[in-house]
Homo-oligomer: A and B are copies of this chain.
Amino acid sequence: MITSPHNEKLKLVRRLRSRQTRTREGLFVAEGEDLVAAAAAARAEPVALLRAGEDVAPELLAAVSALGSGTRVLGIYRQRWSEPHGSLSVYLHGVGDPGNVGAAIRSAHALADGPVVLGPGCADPYAPKAVRASMGSIFARPPARGELTKLPGRKVALDPRAKRTLAEVEVDDSVVVLAGAEREGLPGEVLEAADERARIPIRPDGPESLNVAMAVTVALYEVARRMARHV
């Protein structure tokens, strides 16, 4: 059992708080029994598994944990990345909040057959907050990186200023939903590269926009529903 804070595994957990280190090492940390179970279900082998009171002294685990005291298990895993694929997938541009990136990964896992493809300016999907928000879907449906122009399928950009609603756009055999940051939205060059723009109808007395993860979820639901019906 690890009883020294200078242990190499504990040092690695601490260093993996930095995105740079995560990217360089190709590793990340998943905390908690649910995430570790999700990893096992997706056959992701931990590089190291640290169980409180079993592999490591509980207070040392708590000290390196992002969740703090009470953490019972923490695993170090290899990052997995997929290629853009599937008949329905998501492309995010400039989504800097890791919670939103993780939530989109979970929704894609629930409603689509393709991954979340991360474009420029997105948060690291392997950041602790993103991994937690994915609720384990990061293991089952690894994210992708890819060029916008090379994505498979009809590109439908979510744009609150679009004339047509999501229910009115043409749905092809294969669709990629493009979504941008909450305030800025998608930049001009992404909107121009899209085959179509669509908005989610928001009440006139409502807020300016939906949260980006909410918007992605609604869009995936709507497109999947219409694809299933061959509309």
By a beta-carbon cutoff of 8 Å, the part of chain A in contact with chain B is 103, 106-107, 109-113, 135-137, 140, 167, 200-203, 205-207, 209-211, 213-214, 217-218, 221-222, 224-225, 228
Shortest CB-to-CB span from A133 to chain B, Å, is 8
Q: List, in ascending order, chain B residues with CB within 8 A of A110's CB.
A: 202-203, 206-207, 209-210
Shortest CB–CB separation between residue A43 and chain B, in angstroms?
13
Neighbouring B residues of A106 by C-beta, 8 Å: 207, 210-211, 214
Q: Is the interface of A mostly helix, strand, loop or mixed?
A: helix
Instruction: For A224, list chain B residues within 8 Å (CB).
Output: 201
Known: A200-B221, A201-B225. 16 other contacts (CB 8 A): A103-B211, A103-B214, A106-B207, A110-B203, A110-B206, A110-B209, A113-B203, A136-B207, A137-B207, A140-B206, A140-B207, A213-B214, A214-B214, A217-B218, A218-B218, A221-B221
Find the residue from A110, A209, A211, A217 having the highest chain B CB count within 10 A.
A110
Q: In the assembled complex, which residues on chain B have CB atoms less than 8 Å from the CB atom of A201? A: 111, 224-225, 228
From B107, B211, B218, contact of A221 by CB (8 A):
B218
- When distances are taken between beta carbons in the complex, the residues of chain B under 8 Å from A202 are 110-111
Chain B residues with CB under 8 A of A222: 221
Q: How far does the Cβ of A140 sit from chain B's closest Cβ, in whole Å?
A: 7
A85 vs chain B, min Cβ distance (A) = 14
Q: Which of A137, A140, A206 has the most CB of B within 10 A?
A: A206
Does A109 contact B221, Cβ atoms closer than 8 Å?
no
When distances are taken between beta carbons in the complex, the residues of chain B under 8 Å from A140 are: 205-207
* Docked complex Cα distance between A112 and B210 (Å): 13
Contacts of A136 in B (CB 8 A): 207
- Chain B nearest CB from A132 CB (Å) reads 12
- Complex: how many Å from CA A207 to CA B133? 13
